[in-house]
A and B are shown apart, each in its own frame.
Chain A
Amino acid sequence: MTESETIARWVTPGARVLDLGCGDGVLLKHLWQTRQAPGYGVEIDDAKVVECIRNDVNVLQMDLEDGLAAFADRSFDYVILSETLQAIHRQEPLMKEMLRVGREAIVSFPNFGYWRARIQIAFAGHMPVSKELPYQWYDTPNVHHCTLVDFEALCAKLGLRILERLVLTSGNAVTFLPNLLGSLAVYRVSA
């Protein structure tokens, strides 16, 4: 199972979707094709924005760090933040904004508590570099890594309800010791 399959399963048919940090727009395209869910992507990178247009996906070139002022309250069913949380400087205001604009938020991120990451720090003594975290520490867009425990603590602090959680490693769902054995976490939360 892939992350986009998971998200497509959660998104109800015909729902309105906002994908923050949408990259080349493939997730939005997938949601349109499989769930007839119309949406918009937000992306800051010039080349990716052009790719979105090539993919016939609505894209808005904006900086997520500036907030979501372009979007009205409750104008979307789902606001998606796919593997972008760790690259944001200020998570708290963005999470609040996501649930102002959307009924629910879907957030995914690489789990920094994954055992391979832990081993690299604990025994090899260096920052983790892996398939999920392919960057060197000095050359990464990621500024705020977290674990499942950390994210759930943030949700508690913000008073958000976790409606659903799926933890994946190499496309397989992880239910046993997910914070240790899961490399990617996908959450569905509401205010």
Chain B
Amino acid sequence: MIITPQKARFTQPLKLKSGAVLPEFEVAYETYGELNAARSNAVLVCHALNASHHVAGTYANDPDNVGWWDNMVGPGKPLDTDRFFVIGNNYIGSCFGSTGPTSTNPATGKPWGADFPVVTVEDWVAAQACLADHLGIERFAAVMGGSLGAMQSLQWALSYPQRVRNSIVIAATPRLSAQNIAFNEVARQAIMTDPDFHGGHYYDKGVVPRRGLRIARMIGHITYLSDDAMMEKFGRVLRRVTPGFDFDVDFEIESYLRHQGDKFSTYFDANTYLRITKALDYYDPAADYGGDLSKAFARAQADFLVISFTSDWRFSSARSREIVRALLDNRRVVSYLEIDAPQGHDAFLLDDARYFGALRAYFGNIAL
């Protein structure tokens, strides 16, 4: 599947939850499959922290750049693009194409940098609704996402109840725990205390707070894997013949984390990282309802599929069960799968016969 990324430009201002206003913005997206005549087969895929609108397929000029959910989305795959018109989108505030801190601020002609407002999950969904309008999609057959993407999937059912027939919510939480926020804060502190951060105005200084980004990513990776998966993958295996009794890399896991951190720091924007983690921290649809998630979901009209993974300690199955309980309280049509997979939070990206089989069956029953 050869794909061409696209951009939609919106010149109407977008009022953000914080009260700030984006005077204009762009949303980067890709599409797979064909929109049918009834416009009833569109599925919006929402990405998590470090991914982008490049969900599936490859680029003609970059054949090795395979989309992040290519095992899930494509012809004959669980989300079958022979049947569905699938849209990958990049949320605003990102550094992969949609308007974000690295974009030009029209007021100054320079990159937004630290002046780019803090965006929320609700803001992302509002921008995605603009994209849906632009593509002529009144109602999605499904909105789907994992982790942070699942928050968008939930929020779609709350922000635009009439515009979503199915909300597919994978490895989700209805709100971050104090521990989740704590990890995010350590990551942000790593970035903000990097001498190259310059209060977020590092673009014109010609530097990048790479050390901070590295550490932020290393922390993230620890939370994406289960203890068992990490032990299984790396164990206590040494990178050198004997321990060095110094502070160079001894263990495989150290090497892995350094590698992941190094790689991430070359392509991810620090201002974006700060904003995404804040969007995660702030997300709490029950907040306006006295903490009562069941009341928050009273407005939802979609059918739901909720999937969690037993070894996910970042967003544990108990958090998904909170979502299920709120949906049951509102008598929503909902199915819930608790997949006994060992990999931890990252399991949502991996091929598992039960997980993929359930999605294939679920999509198969969506009438077009």
Contact = CB atoms under 8 A, between A and B. Distances in A.
Interface string A55-84: 010111110000000111001000000000
Interface size class, chain A: 10 to 19
B358 to A, nearest CB: 5
B249 interface: no
A157 interface: no
B129 interface: no
A45 to B, nearest CB: 10
Given A40-B328, A50-B358, A72-B328, A61 B338 contact: yes
A3 B329 CA distance: 29
Interface residues of B, number: 22
Interface of A: 16, 40, 46-47, 49-50, 52-54, 56, 58-62, 70-72, 75
13 contacts: A47-B354, A49-B358, A50-B361, A54-B361, A56-B365, A58-B333, A58-B334, A59-B335, A61-B337, A70-B324, A70-B328, A71-B328, A75-B329
B321 interface: yes
B337 A49 contact: yes
Interface of B: 305, 321, 324-325, 328-329, 331, 333-340, 354, 357-358, 361-362, 364-365
A54 B328 CA distance: 20
Nearest to A41: B335
A50 B321 contact: no
Given A46-B354, A61-B336, A61-B337, A53 B325 contact: no
Contacts of B336: 59-62
Contacts of A54: 361, 364-365
Contacts of A50: 354, 357-358, 361
Contacts of B337: 49, 61
A53 B335 CA distance: 8
Contacts of A61: 336-338
Given A40-B334, A53-B358, A62-B338, 5 more contacts: A16-B331, A49-B354, A50-B361, A60-B336, A70-B324
